[in-house]
Structure 1
């Protein structure tokens, strides 16, 4: 690992739990950057929560029958319960941005 990546990893670690944008050396949509909440940083990968899942509409796990919930055949009582995580190889990171606070 070169010196740039060592210092970048240390900088990234300070922003775990905050929203960052990571730009990669790849082309297409991924080269435009990923924005999300920084979850973890390791020597090999960075994980960003780029789309949080919905909160459950039926917190007790009921079938929602007889209640005024938005029941969806595909997902049950909630919307999409899953979020989306971007896993970015650290050797593909070109730059990252964060708020200055």
Structure 2
């Protein structure tokens, strides 16, 4: 990737922080299908996408309404924390293209 093209990509992506984008890379396999997520960071080396948002705690009060123990002893609707989410980090040098939502 040439330096001018790389700078243009970075400048464009910095303007899209907080928006949903799909980034296609120059790699093969599943990653060739692109990565979709909310762009949270872009610098001259990498971009970061939140590609899966984690589950919130089921009770903002913590263990007060969700005591530990096996499921039969927990109150109805009190589910354990099951997902941390995921962040995708993509090197700028590997970006082939990106797609953004049309802005009205």
Q: TM-score range by the shorter chain?
A: 0.7 to 0.9
In proportion to residue count, which structure has more helix? 2
TM-score by length of structure 1 reads: 0.87
Q: CA RMSD in A?
A: 1.4
1:67 to partner: Cα distance: 2.4
Matches within 5 A, 1:1-101: 2-62=3-63, 64-65=66-67, 67-71=75-79, 77-80=80-83, 82-101=84-103
**TM-score, normalising length from structure 2?**
0.84
Runs of 4+ in 1 over 2 A off after TM superposition: none
User: Could you list the runs of 5+ residues in structure 2 that have no partner in the other structure?
Assistant: 68-73
2:59–2:78 Cα contact (<8 Å) kept: no
- The question of whether the paired residues in 2 share the 8 Å contact of 1:58 and 1:78 is answered with no
Name the stretch that deviates more: 91-100 or 59-68.
Answer: 59-68
- How many Å separate the matches in 2 of 1:10 and 1:43? 9
Query: How far apart, in 2, do the equivalents of 1:57 and 1:79 lie?
Result: 10
State the number of aligned residues: 95
Q: Of the two, which has the highest radius of gyration?
A: 2
